[in-house]
Each structure stands twice: as structure tokens, then as C-alpha cells.
Amino acid sequence: GPEYVRAIAPYQAGKPIAEVAREFGLDEASIVKLASNENPFGVPESSKQAMAAAVADLGRYPDANGFELKAALSKRYDVPADWITLGNGSNDILEIAAHAFVQGGQSVVYSQYSFAVYALATQGVGARAIVVPAKAYGHDLDAMAAAICDDTRLVFIANPNNPTGTFIGAGEIEAFLQRVPAHVIVVLDEAYNEFLAPEQQFESADWVRKYPNLMVSRTFSKAYGLAGLRVGFAIAQPALTDLMNRIRQPFNVNSLAQAAAIAALNDKDFLEQGAKNNAAGYQQFVEAFDQLGLEYVPSYGNFVLVRVGDDDQAGARVNLALLRQGVIVRPVGNYGLPQWLRISIGLPQENAIFLAALKKALA
């Protein structure tokens, strides 16, 4: 295979419950998984019903263009349907963008401590990564703008960012967009947007009208509770979506996923319940971290990055101690954060089990 493919470090996903149960001799039902920023309420009932109805059609291919789902998204975000690209999760969107806009030898700019798939998408097309040092664990947009070169084609920004949970306000993002040269496409990855408080929300999809080089990416995996189905989408002007459409797989979003996503999109109660639980769970975590004297990065997502020790084995050590107690969280050594763990916010009881296990692990 090509050298640039050999150089890729594979994505490290959260450990599956079944694997942890077997490895540590635990009962699957007793395991708490707070590792993948999933929705602790699971699949919305409305989506389950929509999927049940869609099963009868599984003998047919999915709608290759996602007509109904795009119509629903078009209405929600007030953009024409041909400004929308559907993805097999938003990971697919990120990868399609790299394939559509970048070729080997060109460069892609993203931040240190930002989402792991930016590196994979960049390396996967044989492009050069320009990784800009983080500022307070988040994006340093001034430095990122300065890092853009003639051969840069793409910038990835995660807002809120994973794994650190940092957030950049509308003013700063727009100032950045104004500085970015026209030959550079900005993918604004808003996977965790729905967890922001109403006063932090801004209509980034509206900016797509103003900035022809902007693509906003969203997902149904987090707030909408459909991670297992793999549905994401991007909003951008048709000049960009047209290229995305040429390179994507024809049936990249399956029928059940399309049906479930439409239902979830219209399920305001589910979103509201999730946002409330998330805000309460965040308080539960940070109060406990304060009591334990643990440093954490203030988070705007559905997870918190917490520093569990001073040495570079701390993350791995505490992670193992948690696994032995049946709690799965995410070590982030692969992000260059070996002293830290990333914990997804769960239901109150799950959070409590994690916190009790953490106390033991640190004792």
C-alpha cells in the first residue's frame, strides 16, 4: 500500500461492553459505558416507530438522494435541499470533504487536540497535515489563519471540540471566516451543537449563504441518539455539495437511518430531555472533580476531559482501574493527553457509579 496509508494510526473507538465483560469477568448488565459521547437515553421512541414502519421496504435500496430527510433538513435549516449532503455519520462527511477538495501534496489545517478523524481524512488522501498548537486546550483561530498556505485546501474546526469540550463564540468564528482565503474550504464540525445553551447557539447554517467556502457539519449520533445508525449531514453552497455528491457512495445512508433521522429531527421532547440531563450531569461531574481536586476543561459538549494524575501513565492506569470496576471511559493518550480521561455524561445513576469508581481508582 501507499506510504501515506501505512503512516495512519487507526481510529481508537470506545471499548465495547461485551469485550470488557469478557476480559474482566463482569456481567454485561453491570457495565457502565461513558466512552463514546453517546446519548444515555438511547434511541428516541419516535425513531423506533419510524424504523419499524420502514422495515417492510428493506428489500429495496435506500433513497440514494435522501429526498425526505433532505426535505426535513431543508425546512429546519432554511436552505435548499441541494445545499445538503447526507453522510454515513458525520465521519463520512469529513472523509468525503477530504476526497472532494484535497489531493496528495496539498495541505489541511486543523488544531492540536481536535477530533481524530481530521488526521485520518487528511492522511487518507495523501495530504499534508498542518497541526496548529492549541490554546487553552481549544482552537487558536489566529494561529490557524496564519498557518494557512498556498497549498492549503481545507480547514477542520470542531465547535464544540472533541475531546476537550472547548467552544468558540460566533464573533470569533466569523472573524476567522473573513480571514480565510477563497481557495480554502472551512468545515465547521458542529457534532455537539445541540448541547449548547440557547444563548450560546448561533445560526451557523446562515453563514453558509454568506461564505461560499464554508461547510457546516452536523450529526444524529449525539443529541438525537442515533449513533448506531450512522447519519450525519453537511450544509454548504451547491458548488461544494455538487463535488461532495460526485465522490460519496451512492447509498451511503441506509433506509432505517433515513426514517429514524426524520422522526428524531421532529422530536423536540427528546432533545429537551437530553439537554436537561446533560446540564445536570455536567454539574454532577464538575462538583465531584472540584471535591477531588481534579483539573478539568470546562466543557460545552456531552463529555468532560479530566486530568487524573501528573505522570504520563495516569490516564492508562486510572482507565484500567475503572475497567476492572466495570466502567468504560475514554483514554486520550492517542490525542497527546496521557494524563487525562474523557468521560461522557450519562444518566445520573451512571454518573454516580463512575464517580464512585473514580474515587476508588484514585485512592
Site residues (vs ligand PMP, CB under 6 A)? 37, 89-91, 115, 158, 162, 189, 191, 219, 221, 227, 232
Alpha carbon distance 181, 152 (integer Å): 10
Alpha carbon distance 350, 363 (integer Å): 20
Q: In what order do the strands lie in the sheet with 232-235?
A: 84-87, 232-235, 214-219, 185-189, 152-158, 107-111, 128-132
Alpha carbon distance 39, 199 (integer Å): 22
Closer residue to ligand PMP in complex, CB, 89/326? 89
Taking the complex as a whole, the smallest distance from the CB of residue 14 to ligand PMP amounts, in Å, to: 9
Taking the complex as a whole, the smallest distance from the CB of residue 217 to ligand PMP amounts, in Å, to: 7
Closer residue to ligand PMP in complex, CB, 50/158? 158
Taking the complex as a whole, the smallest distance from the CB of residue 270 to ligand PMP amounts, in Å, to: 17
Closer residue to ligand PMP in complex, CB, 161/325? 161
Check: CB of residue 232 under 8 Å from CB of residue 221: yes
Taking the complex as a whole, the smallest distance from the CB of residue 235 to ligand PMP amounts, in Å, to: 14
Closer residue to ligand PMP in complex, CB, 187/306? 187
DSSP string for 217-239: EEESSSTTS-GGG--EEEE--HH
Residue 210 grid coordinates = 454568506
Residue 201 grid coordinates = 447557539
Helix, coil or strand: residue 131: strand
CA nearest to 172, candidates 138, 135, 142: 142
Helix, coil or strand: residue 194: helix
Closer residue to ligand PMP in complex, CB, 85/91? 91
Taking the complex as a whole, the smallest distance from the CB of residue 94 to ligand PMP amounts, in Å, to: 7
Check: CB of residue 143 under 8 Å from CB of residue 188: no
Taking the complex as a whole, the smallest distance from the CB of residue 322 to ligand PMP amounts, in Å, to: 20
The per-residue b/e assignment along 257-283, b for 16 or more CB within 10 angstroms, e otherwise, is: bbbbbbbbbbbeebbeebbebbeebbe
Taking the complex as a whole, the smallest distance from the CB of residue 273 to ligand PMP amounts, in Å, to: 20
Q: What residue number has its CB nearest to ligand PMP?
A: 89
* Helices and strands: H and E segment counts in the chain: 14, 13
Closer residue to ligand PMP in complex, CB, 113/288? 113
**Strand 107-111 relative to strand 32-33, pairing:** unpaired
Taking the complex as a whole, the smallest distance from the CB of residue 40 to ligand PMP amounts, in Å, to: 15
Closer residue to ligand PMP in complex, CB, 181/228? 228
Check: CB of residue 127 under 8 Å from CB of residue 260: no
Closer residue to ligand PMP in complex, CB, 138/288? 138
Taking the complex as a whole, the smallest distance from the CB of residue 44 to ligand PMP amounts, in Å, to: 16
Closer residue to ligand PMP in complex, CB, 12/178? 12
Peptide bond into 160 cis (omega under 30): yes
